[in-house]
Amino acid sequence: MKITMRGVRGSIPVPGPDTVVYGGNTTCHEIRTTSGHLIILDGGSGIRQLGNELLANLPVKCHIFITHTHWDHIQGLPFFIPLFIPGNTMDIYGSFDPVYMKDLRSILSQQMEYCYFPVRECELAATINYHNIREGQAVQVGSATVTPILTNHPVLNYGYKIEDSGKTFFFTGDYEPPVNIYDEEDEEYAGYQQLVDEQQQTLIDFVQGVDVMVADSQYTHEEYPAKTGWGHGTFETNIRLARLANIKEFYFTHHDPMRTDAQLDEIFSEIMSRDNLPDTVFHLAKEGTVIEL
């Protein structure tokens, strides 16, 4: 399969002179399966340019997997031109929102109500099929199998594992490893820690040995105490995950919108200079990066 990073920024698009190297578009990854099928992970602003390029080969048929429906993961969808063209087919997958009791279609339709956008969802000319999928429910797309796992975030968020012709790719979506809500002196601490460890182990088992992993690393270890509970990981939590899950190649993504190219380079080179890193090959995710597996 071939993976192209279309958007690697977290929270909000940040175009400008300070973000030209790593890119300012929000989350979107394009995956071409060995069988030639098109999978898109998330519809952040990065999906817009991808849509423009797809117009060269109509009709467009694609499978869009949404990790969760926070703005930075869906805000590009209304500008994904293939949605407006008859004859195109989009299959959109994601989690039902059990708190608001809304399915994916309702959430995406509301994004396109008149007060937000001039075209309504019901006016989209492409054939759109919505699929509310459950954790662990594998979806076959040509030669690839896509399987969701819940990863901790303020809303339900799916990480997706894609297996194709013996190669594996995993994208966390937004993910903050769960933390113990008790203090060490509390009697509940140990029991809760056991639950946290079990949950972490479930993820480690799920991604054990994947070839390429792309993971939310919005914060540094130093920034994290002020951002605990916001739903994002750190470089350090991800290095730990890469080590425990024996990940071959790892991309830090969901760059903080405040982060300049220079700051990203600085953080990355400091991290790479540390002793005792796992054997994983680490990279900063960069818009336009192409990975062949």
Partner 1 sequence: MPLNRSKLVEIVQNIPAFPQSVNQVIAMTSNAMCPPKKLVQVIERDPILTMKVLKLVNSAFFGLSKEVTSVQHSVVYVGLNTVKNVAISVAMSGVLPETNDAGLDMDAYWKDSLAVGVIAKMLAEQRKIPPNETADYFVAGLLHNIGKVLFAHYFPAEYKEVLGITEEKRIPLHKVEKKLLGLDHCQLGGLLAKEWQLPENLRGVIRHHHTMVKDYGDNKLLVAIIAASQLNHYINGSVGVLPQLPKQVEDYLGAPLIDVADSLENLEREVDKAQAFIDVN
In the complex, which residues of this chain contact partner 1 (CB under 8 A)?
A: 95-96, 98-99, 101, 133-137, 150, 152-156, 178, 181-183, 186, 188, 190-192, 194-196, 198-199, 202, 229, 231
Taking the least distance from each CB to partner 1, the nearer of 186 and 266 is: 186
Taking the least distance from each CB to partner 1, the nearer of 203 and 284 is: 203
Q: 26: which strand partners?
A: 9
- Are the C-beta atoms of residues 233 and 177 closer than 8 Å to each other? yes
Taking the least distance from each CB to partner 1, the nearer of 191 and 288 is: 191
Length of the chain: 293
Taking the least distance from each CB to partner 1, the nearer of 119 and 190 is: 190
- Are the C-beta atoms of residues 253 and 41 closer than 8 Å to each other? no
One-letter amino acid at 218 equals Q
- Are the C-beta atoms of residues 15 and 41 closer than 8 Å to each other? no
Taking the least distance from each CB to partner 1, the nearer of 59 and 136 is: 136
To partner 1, the closest distance from the beta carbon of 181 in angstroms equals 4
Tokens (6 digits) for 60: 């467009």
Taking the least distance from each CB to partner 1, the nearer of 158 and 250 is: 158
To partner 1, the closest distance from the beta carbon of 9 in angstroms equals 22
One-letter amino acid at 136 equals G
To partner 1, the closest distance from the beta carbon of 228 in angstroms equals 10
To partner 1, the closest distance from the beta carbon of 83 in angstroms equals 27
To partner 1, the closest distance from the beta carbon of 99 in angstroms equals 4
Q: Which H or E run contains 114?
A: none
One-letter amino acid at 71 equals W
To partner 1, the closest distance from the beta carbon of 188 in angstroms equals 7
Using the structure block, give the residue that is written with the tokens 């048929």.
61
For residue 109, the tally of other CB atoms under 10 A from its CB is 16
Starting at the edge strand found earlier in the chain, the sheet holding 38-41 runs 127-132, 89-94, 61-65, 38-41, 28-32, 2-7, 290-292
Taking the least distance from each CB to partner 1, the nearer of 187 and 275 is: 187
Tokens (6 digits) for 209: 């040995």
To partner 1, the closest distance from the beta carbon of 11 in angstroms equals 17
Contacts with 112 (C-beta within 8 Å, 6 or more apart), sequence order: 78, 119, 120, 121
